[in-house]
Amino acid sequence: MTKPAFSFEFFPAKTEQGHEKLLSTYDELNKLSPAYFSVTYGAGGSTRSRTLDIVHALCARGDTDIAPHMSCIGDDKAEIAELLDLYKSLGIKRLVALRGDLPSGQVGMGELPFALDLVKFIREHSGDHFHIEVAAYPEMHPQARSFKLDVDNLVNKYQAGANSSITQFFYNADSYLYLRDSLEKRGIDTVAQPLVAGIMPITNSSNLMRFADSCGADIPRYVRKQLADFGDDSKAIREFGFDVVYRLCERLIAEGVPAIHFYSMNKVEPNKRLIEALGLA
C-alpha cells in the first residue's frame, strides 16, 4: 500500500513568545519530513504582516516547502500581484488560494470576490510558477445552495488551474469518499489533481465545537456525546480524540487517500504521535 504524503498547517502567532514556540514546533514536526507547511492568512489580510513574518522565518529555517494562504475578498489585483512577486522572490512554489472572509465593517468584495477569480488571476500573473491548492468541502460549504453547486465550484477551480484541493476537516470518511467520487464523475482525475484530506486532531472539546460550528463541519453524534461525558477530563478527551482521528486516517489510507493535511493548531502533539502511529514518517 502506498503511503500518502502529509503536511501541516500553522497560523501566525500573536506574540513574540508564540512566534518562538511556533519555530520550535516547526523544528520538531520538520524532522518527520512533511511535504510542506501551510501558513494561514486572516480575513481581508488582517494577519498579513504576521503571515509574512512567519513565512520569512520558516523559509530561512529549513528546506521544506512553505505554502502561504492567500485570500482575495476585499483586496485589489495590484495588492495581490505585489504579494505574488514577493513570494516568488522568496522561492515560494506553492500557495493555498482562498476566498477568505470579509473583515467586520468592510462592505466591498474587491476586484477578485471569489477563490475561482483568485486562481485565474494567479495563473494570468504567474503562469505555472505556483502549485495552487484550493479549499474543498466534503460536507458542503455553509454558504453553498446545494451540494451539486458546491462540487461545480470546486470543479471550476480545478479547471481554472488549481493543482489540488484540501478539504475542510471532517470525521466521517464517507463524506470525503463521496466528494472524491463526485469529482471523478465530473472528469477530475483525483490522482493527477488530488483531493487532500484535511484532518483536525481532537485535543479540546469546546474548541472543536466552536471550530465546527463556525465552518459547518459535522461532529458525529457519538463523538459529541462521548466528549460531553468526559467533561473536564482532558487526558480522556485527548486519548479518545486520538483514537477517533487515528481510525479515520486508517480508513482513508486504506481507501487510497493521496495526502493528508493536518490542522496542527501550532502543536507538536498529537500531530507527531499520529504520523508515527500511522507509519507515515
196-216 confidence digits (pLDDT tens) = 999 999 999 999 999 898 888
Q: Report pLDDT for 76.
A: 86
pLDDT at 47: 64
Query: pLDDT at position 127, please?
Result: 98
pLDDT, one tens digit per residue, over 4-39 is 999 999 999 989 999 999 999 999 999 999 999 999
Helix (H) or strand (E) segment spanning residue 9? strand 5-10
Instruction: Write down how long the chain is.
Output: 281
Domain 5-278 has CATH 3.40.50.10470: no
Task: Supply the residues annotated as catalytic.
Answer: 9
> 3: which 3 cell numbers?
503511503
Residue 65, H or E segment:
strand 65-71
SS3 per residue for 83-135: HHHHHHHCCCCEEEEECCCCCCCCCCCCCCCCHHHHHHHHHHHHCCCCEEEEE
pTM for the structure as a whole: 0.95
Q: Kindly give the parts of the chain with pLDDT less than 70.
A: 42-47, 101-110
Tell me the C-alpha distance between 206 and 210, whole Å: 6
For residue 203, give the nearest of 168, 245, 170, 149 by alpha carbon: 245
Residue from 38, 17, 19, 227 nearest 135 by CA? 38
